[in-house]
């Protein structure tokens, strides 16, 4: 049976049904108003959203400019007493207790830009969307808003702070080390350790600051092995031969030599193997002191003239210029014990750029002009001075033809890229060359230290000689009967030289063969006009050169520098014969005599050499 309702009740229900839509609309309108209000406020706002803070500093409701002014005054103080905590995990080192450190932000010069921070606060929550900006506004109003400023720091200061933490947290690696005290070497055996990765910690600190994460950072020690070292490696590092004091050419001063150190690396390795990691152990060594101390060398430095030689210089002005330039290149050269002098290295290439001039030289036995002609007179002068100084000759070549400015067998030819004059300082003290050219004389004196008083002299013995011949060639360019010399003639020799050593009392200690020299003969060539057979006006024929060497060396005929006139014969004068066919420092062939002999350009004895050589 259906329920029957009274009329009043039905009327009331009908009234409620009519009221419900209006109430729902009212509620919806209220809710919309609540929701839209923040959106409207956000859209209309030209200030920072309410309850916004920057590093704990309230800036809500301020304009961007007002906030910037407040932050400029208060931001520095916000970090003045703050610190960034650092926790170091030491579990890798077998110790579970972590270490705690802190980095005061003031130490790493944390800073924030107030203008940037104010702009960040103003734009925080402003998305450009009406509704999302309203939600952000409401959220800020109800919950507040924290804005992190962009921080900067002094990276160098941060690196120092990290290094200070590592200095306390690290368990240092013990690297191998050694030291010498007296006749003992003390060696520390290497041992591993545990270290903080400083670069990684620095990057972590930089990230925390950049992200405004100041709650603290973590890092850990890691194992670090030492450099592996054996006693054989230490031996190669520590072992040295004793060396005397030496002359520092750059500083012009005497320097200390080295103390010799030696030990048995095998026995030392056994000692290292038995030692604990990080332990210092002792290795017996042999110490050798230098024979010549700095004080002793300074006392005797360049004290004595070991040997000297002077030769007479003649020839063209260009040749004399080259002789002087070569002398300057050799002058004041210092050789420490064991060092080798090279004449070519001292002079360099003989070119116009290096100051040399063309002068007479030889090419395939013919006289030509070549840059540097004449420089062999200095090499020969130096060679004889070095022989008289009793130094070791490393390389020397005699000329193709004997030059008359120095005794037989005592010359030295040189050429760039070819023969060189080299000698070694085989004494215990430095030597210095004094090489000069003045007043028509070239002089070389070797200064060094002679503690024994021994002296050296050089002798020569002629093994054979070959007289030159005179050839006559018809020259149709000459007048009938006219005669003109085209080429000088030179006598050939085979010579052996001896180095003689005398003690301080003049007693002969030794006499040893030094070198053998072969000088070629070269024929004289006379050009004769057609139909002419008369001798050159005023010149007799040239007599043969005796087999015995002249006591005063032969004067080679100088190649004419001007166009040749009809030949005026000049006879060779044979020297007085010597019973033993020899000569030396005290006999025939003295290079120091005033004989006014002419010069001869240089050529080596090597028959395959094609380049001209200057001499």
Task: Say yes or no to pLDDT of 560 above 50.
Answer: no
Q: What are the backbone angles phi and psi of residue 388, rounded to the nearest 5°?
A: -70, -15
DSSP output for 368-385? EEEETTTTHHHHHHHHHH
Beta strands in 161-233 (DSSP E): 177-181, 184-188, 193-196, 217-224
Cα(209)–Cα(105) distance, integer angstroms: 9
Residues in the chain: 615
Cα(615)–Cα(611) distance, integer angstroms: 13
**pTM for the complete prediction?**
0.61
Instruction: Please tell me whether residue 449 adopts helix, strand or coil conformation.
Output: coil
Ranges 27-31, 458-462, 590-594, most confident: 458-462
Place of tokens 């030159």: 468
Cα(374)–Cα(554) distance, integer angstroms: 18
pLDDT digits (tens, 9 = 90+) for 54-64: 888 898 889 98
- Note the pLDDT of residue 17: 60
Task: Say yes or no to pLDDT of 86 above 90.
Answer: yes
- Residue 134 near residue 42, CB atoms below 8 Å: yes
Query: Which residues make Cβ contacts (< 8 Å) with residue 123, sequence separation at least 6?
Result: none
DSSP output for 480-515? TT-EEEEE--B-EEEEEEEEEEE-TTS-EEEEEEEE
Choose among 76, 77, 60: nearest CA to 118: 60
- Residue 398 near residue 409, CB atoms below 8 Å: yes
Residue ranges covered by each domain of the chain: 25-166, 231-297, 302-614
Report the DSSP beta bridge partners of residue 458. 499
pLDDT digits (tens, 9 = 90+) for 20-46: 665 555 555 555 555 555 565 655 577
CA distances from 177 to 194, 231, 591 (A): 19, 11, 62
Of all residues in the chain, what percent carry a pLDDT higher than 90? 60
In three state form, how does the secondary structure of 48-77 look? CCCCEEECCEECCCCCHHHHHHHHHHHHHH
Choose among 406, 410, 400: nearest CA to 367: 400
Residue 110: its H or E element:
none
Cα(246)–Cα(255) distance, integer angstroms: 5
- Note the pLDDT of residue 27: 55
Q: What are the backbone angles phi and psi of residue 264, rounded to the nearest 5°?
A: -90, 105
Q: Would the CA dihedral through 267, 270, 272, 275 be positive or negative?
A: negative
pLDDT digits (tens, 9 = 90+) for 5-20: 566 666 556 655 655 6
Choose among 492, 497, 493, 463: nearest CA to 585: 497
- Note the pLDDT of residue 547: 36
Instruction: Please tell me whether residue 438 adopts helix, strand or coil conformation.
Output: strand
Instruction: Please tell me whether residue 583 adopts helix, strand or coil conformation.
Output: strand
Query: Which residues make Cβ contacts (< 8 Å) with residue 527, sequence separation at least 6?
Result: 472, 473, 474, 475, 478, 483, 484, 485, 486
Quote the tokens at residue 241. 């031969």
- Note the pLDDT of residue 255: 96
Report the DSSP beta bridge partners of residue 218. 87
- Residue 51 near residue 60, CB atoms below 8 Å: yes
Place of tokens 């002398």: 327
Cα(447)–Cα(332) distance, integer angstroms: 10
pLDDT digits (tens, 9 = 90+) for 485-526: 999 999 999 999 999 999 999 999 999 999 999 999 999 999
């Amino acid at each position: 049976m259906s329920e029957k309702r009274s009329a009043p009740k039905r009327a009331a229900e009908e009234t409620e049904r009519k009221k419900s839509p209006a109430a729902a609309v009212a509620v919806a309108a209220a809710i919309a108003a609540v929701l839209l209000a923040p959106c409207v406020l956000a859209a209309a706002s030209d200030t920072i959203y309410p309850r916004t803070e920057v590093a704990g500093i309230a800036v809500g409701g301020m304009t961007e400019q007002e906030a910037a002014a407040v932050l400029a005054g208060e931001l520095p103080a916000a970090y003045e007493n703050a610190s960034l905590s650092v926790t170091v995990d030491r579990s890798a080192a077998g110790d579970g207790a972590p270490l705690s450190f802190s980095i005061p932000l003031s130490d790493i010069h944390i800073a924030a830009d107030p203008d940037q921070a104010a702009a960040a606060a103003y734009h925080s929550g402003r998305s450009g969307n009406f509704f999302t900006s309203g939600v952000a506004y409401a959220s800020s109003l109800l919950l507040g808003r924290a804005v992190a400023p962009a921080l900067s720091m002094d990276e160098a200061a941060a690196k120092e702070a990290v290094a200070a933490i590592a200095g306390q947290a690290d368990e240092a690696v013990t690297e191998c080390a050694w030291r010498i005290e007296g006749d003992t070497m003390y060696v520390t055996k290497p041992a591993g350790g545990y270290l903080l990765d400083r670069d990684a910690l620095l990057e972590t600190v930089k990230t925390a600051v950049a992200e405004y994460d100041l709650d603290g950072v973590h890092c850990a020690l890691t194992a670090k092995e030492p450099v592996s070292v054996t006693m054989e490696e230490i031996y190669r590092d520590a072992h040295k031969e004793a060396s005397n004091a030496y002359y520092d050419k750059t500083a012009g001063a005497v320097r200390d030599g080295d103390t010799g150190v030696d030990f048995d690396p095998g026995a030392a390795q056994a000692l290292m193997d038995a030692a604990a990691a990080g332990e210092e152990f002792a290795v017996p060594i042999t110490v050798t002191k230098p024979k010549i101390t700095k004080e002793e060398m300074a006392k005797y430095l360049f004290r004595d003239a070991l040997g000297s030689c002077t030769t007479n210089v003649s020839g063209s002005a260009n040749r004399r210029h080259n002789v002087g330039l070569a002398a300057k290149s050799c002058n004041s050269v210092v050789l420490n014990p064991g060092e080798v002098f090279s004449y070519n290295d001292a002079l360099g290439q003989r070119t116009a750029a290096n100051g040399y001039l063309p002068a007479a030289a030889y090419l395939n036995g013919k006289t030509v002009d070549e840059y540097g002609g004449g420089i062999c007179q200095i090499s020969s002068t130096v060679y004889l001075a070095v022989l008289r100084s009793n130094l070791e000759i490393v390389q020397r070549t005699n000329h193709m033809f004997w030059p008359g400015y120095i005794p037989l067998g005592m010359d030295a030819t040189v050429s760039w890229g070819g023969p060189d004059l080299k000698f070694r300082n085989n004494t215990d003290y430095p030597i210095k060359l004094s090489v000069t050219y003045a007043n028509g004389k070239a002089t070389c004196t070797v200064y060094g230290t002679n503690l024994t008083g021994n002296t050296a002299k050089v002798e020569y013995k002629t093994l054979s000689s070959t007289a030159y011949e005179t050839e006559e060639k018809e020259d149709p360019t000459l007048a009938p009967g006219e005669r003109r010399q085209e080429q000088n003639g030179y006598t050939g020799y085979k010579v052996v030289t001896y180095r003689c050593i005398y003690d301080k009392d003049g007693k002969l200690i030794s006499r040893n063969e030094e070198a053998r020299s072969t000088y070629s003969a070269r024929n004289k060539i006379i050009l004769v006009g057609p139909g002419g057979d008369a001798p050159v006006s005023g010149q007799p024929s040239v007599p043969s050169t005796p087999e015995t060497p002249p006591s005063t060396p032969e004067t080679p005929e100088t190649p004419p520098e001007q166009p040749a006139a009809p030949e005026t014969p000049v006879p060779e004068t044979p020297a007085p014969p010597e019973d033993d066919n020899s000569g030396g420092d005290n006999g025939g062939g003295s290079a120091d005599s005033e004989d006014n002999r002419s010069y001869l350009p240089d050529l080596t004895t090597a028959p395959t050499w094609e380049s001209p050589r200057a001499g």
